[in-house]
């Protein structure tokens, strides 16, 4: 095992052994206290690397930068490069504590995750493992996610910073970091990032799956809340008086095309997802998610929701119906311009030079970069190397993590070279 491989693995195992799940619906950023522990650990490590302007905000956003290391007499301008990673791991009702185990030189076949609980990862159900025979792979014990999403990225960037800080012969411009909480619960951490502390020309997130994956197209995402105030009445004299909000909610749901839902769409097909309906005798509240890669399609879906609200109101004028729409994040590609397109070019050039075949994906989701891009920081994404995110079958082939790190280092070198260093 090389020195870099060992450092990457050591950092990764250290980070995943510190629980930092986020939790939806708390109304606070960060949503959990455990994310503070993760941020403070990283802050202490960054202090040892002599990063400047280190700052841990009231919302648990950790920022700072590694100053440029350039040849004496160099008078050119090297773009300021940023890396954004999230501190939290997803809460999918599994154990928040991670108990990883390393399978060396994976021989193929089934993997016993937890002998005591009889938890086995069946090779027949996970054909992705076959491509990693002979490699060291980190697995869970079957009771939690692994946390490669996004602690593989944290290990990647922290190892990169250590490499640059200890090898002054590797020339680079200013390297900024933003480690943010609560990505898994609506990108709340990146929305709390003070942009003047992340003054980069472009940035990258490292928050995707298999080796070679590149994402610079994501959904446009929004949410809608429909509130239906009915009229309650006792059944003995309800005729002509009762306005049942539950039935009106069902009517509203029926207005939408059943083929434009998550379970019936793929690729770049958008959808409207009726996520929840909560109702009682007097009120119903409907929560919807709106997704589309096309900005035009996204706006059309919002218009469809408004029109269906009007239709329901006309159907039952005695009810009081309101609609609240919120934009959550945008498509990274919509922020790409001739001036910042180079960020994507650097990524593909790095993959080419490293002999890694690109796997370009229009993500049916979003990253912190989806929000940062709407704020003027173009932020494409590339792979961590992890597999089966958000699952007890999540695993991380160690060579894949090293390939992700190699891409990070190559991008840094290419940005400096392009500037004439």
253-296 pLDDT tens trace: 999 999 999 999 999 999 999 999 999 999 999 999 999 999 99
Cα–Cα–Cα angle for 359, 363, 368, nearest 5°? 110
* Block residue for tokens 């160690």: 398
Q: pLDDT for 138-187, tens place per residue? A: 999 999 999 999 999 999 999 999 999 999 999 999 999 999 999 999 99
Contacts of 84 (CB under 8 A, 6+ apart): 177, 178, 179, 180, 190, 198, 203, 204, 205, 368, 369, 372, 379
Burial class from Cβ neighbours inside 10 Å (0-12, 13-18, 19+) for residue 264 reads exposed
Cis bond before residue 243 (omega within 30° of 0): no
DSSP state at residue 400: H
Is there a contact between 189 and 89 (Cβ–Cβ < 8 Å)? no
Whole-number pLDDT of residue 209: 87
In the chain, helix, strand, coil percent, each to 5?
A: 35, 25, 40
Q: pLDDT for 204-223, tens place per residue? A: 999 978 999 999 999 999 99
Contacts of 180 (CB under 8 A, 6+ apart): 60, 61, 62, 84, 85, 86, 87, 189, 190, 192, 193, 368
Cα–Cα–Cα angle for 277, 245, 327, nearest 5°? 45
Is there a contact between 223 and 328 (Cβ–Cβ < 8 Å)? yes
Q: pLDDT for 310-321, tens place per residue? A: 999 999 999 999
Angle in degrees, 0-180, between the axes of helices 245-254 and 295-315, rounded to the nearest 10: 140
Nearest to 321, CA basis, from 290, 368, 286, 348: 286
pLDDT higher than threshold 80 for residue 420: yes
Whole-number pLDDT of residue 66: 98
Whole-number pLDDT of residue 279: 98
Whole-number pLDDT of residue 88: 98
Whole-number pLDDT of residue 208: 79
Is there a contact between 402 and 137 (Cβ–Cβ < 8 Å)? no
Cα distances (Å, whole numbers) of residue 289 to 24, 220, 301: 15, 11, 10
DSSP state at residue 80: P
- The C-alpha atoms of residue 71 and residue 168 are separated, in whole angstroms, by 10
Whole-number pLDDT of residue 306: 98
Catalytic positions, written as ranges: 88, 183
Whole-number pLDDT of residue 12: 98
Whole-number pLDDT of residue 289: 97
Q: Assign residue 73 a region (left: φ > 0; alpha: ψ between -120 and 50; beta: otherwise).
A: left
Q: pLDDT for 362-407, tens place per residue? A: 999 999 999 999 999 999 999 999 999 999 999 999 999 999 999 9
Instruction: Tell me the three state secondary structure of residue 7.
Output: helix
Confidence band, pLDDT 50/70/90 cuts, at residue 105: very high
Q: pLDDT for 60-79, tens place per residue? A: 999 999 999 999 999 999 99
- The C-alpha atoms of residue 352 and residue 156 are separated, in whole angstroms, by 19
């Amino acid at each position: 095992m090389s020195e870099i491989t060992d450092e990457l693995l050591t950092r990764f195992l250290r980070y995943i052994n510190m629980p930092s799940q986020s939790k939806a619906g708390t109304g606070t950023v960060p949503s959990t206290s455990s994310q503070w522990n993760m941020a403070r650990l990283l802050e202490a490590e960054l202090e040892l690397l002599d990063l400047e302007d280190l700052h841990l905000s009231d919302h648990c956003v950790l920022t700072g930068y590694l100053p440029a290391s350039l040849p004496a007499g160099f008078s050119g301008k090297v773009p300021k490069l940023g890396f954004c990673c999230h501190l939290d791991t997803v809460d999918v009702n599994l154990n928040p504590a991670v108990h990883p185990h390393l399978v060396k030189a994976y021989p193929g076949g089934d993997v016993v995750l937890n002998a005591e609980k009889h938890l086995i990862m069946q090779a027949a159900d996970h054909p992705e493992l076959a491509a990693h025979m002979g490699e060291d792979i980190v697995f869970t014990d079957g009771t939690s996610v692994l946390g490669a999403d996004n602690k593989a990225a944290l290990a990647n960037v922290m190892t990169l910073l250590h490499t640059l800080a200890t090898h002054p012969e590797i020339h680079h411009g200013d390297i900024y970091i933003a480690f943010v909480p609560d990505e898994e619960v609506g990108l709340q951490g990146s929305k709390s990032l003070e942009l003047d502390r992340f003054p980069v020309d472009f940035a990258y997130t490292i928050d995707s799956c298999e080796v070679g994956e590149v994402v610079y197209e994501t959904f446009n995402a929004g949410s809608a809340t429909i509130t239906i105030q009915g009229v309650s009445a006792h059944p003995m004299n309800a005729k002509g008086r009762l306005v049942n909000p539950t039935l009106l909610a069902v009517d509203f749901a029926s207005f939408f095309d059943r083929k434009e839902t998550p379970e019936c769409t793929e690729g770049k097909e958008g959808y409207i997802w009726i996520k929840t309906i909560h109702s009682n005798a007097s009120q119903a509240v409907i929560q919807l998610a709106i997704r589309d890669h096309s900005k035009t399609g996204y706006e059309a879906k919002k218009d469809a929701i408004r029109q269906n609200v009007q239709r329901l109101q006309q159907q039952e004028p005695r009810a009081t119906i309101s609609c609240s729409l919120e934009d959550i994040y945008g498509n990274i590609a919509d922020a790409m311009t001739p001036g910042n397109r180079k960020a994507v070019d650097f990524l593909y050039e790095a993959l080419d030079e490293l002999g890694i075949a690109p796997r370009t994906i229009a993500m049916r989701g979003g990253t912190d970069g989806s929000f940062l891009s709407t704020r003027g920081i173009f932020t494409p994404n590339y792979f961590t190397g992890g597999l089966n995110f958000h699952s007890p079958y999540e695993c991380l082939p160690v060579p894949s993590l090293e390939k992700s790190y190699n891409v990070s280092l190559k991008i840094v070198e290419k940005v400096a070279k392009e500037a004439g260093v």
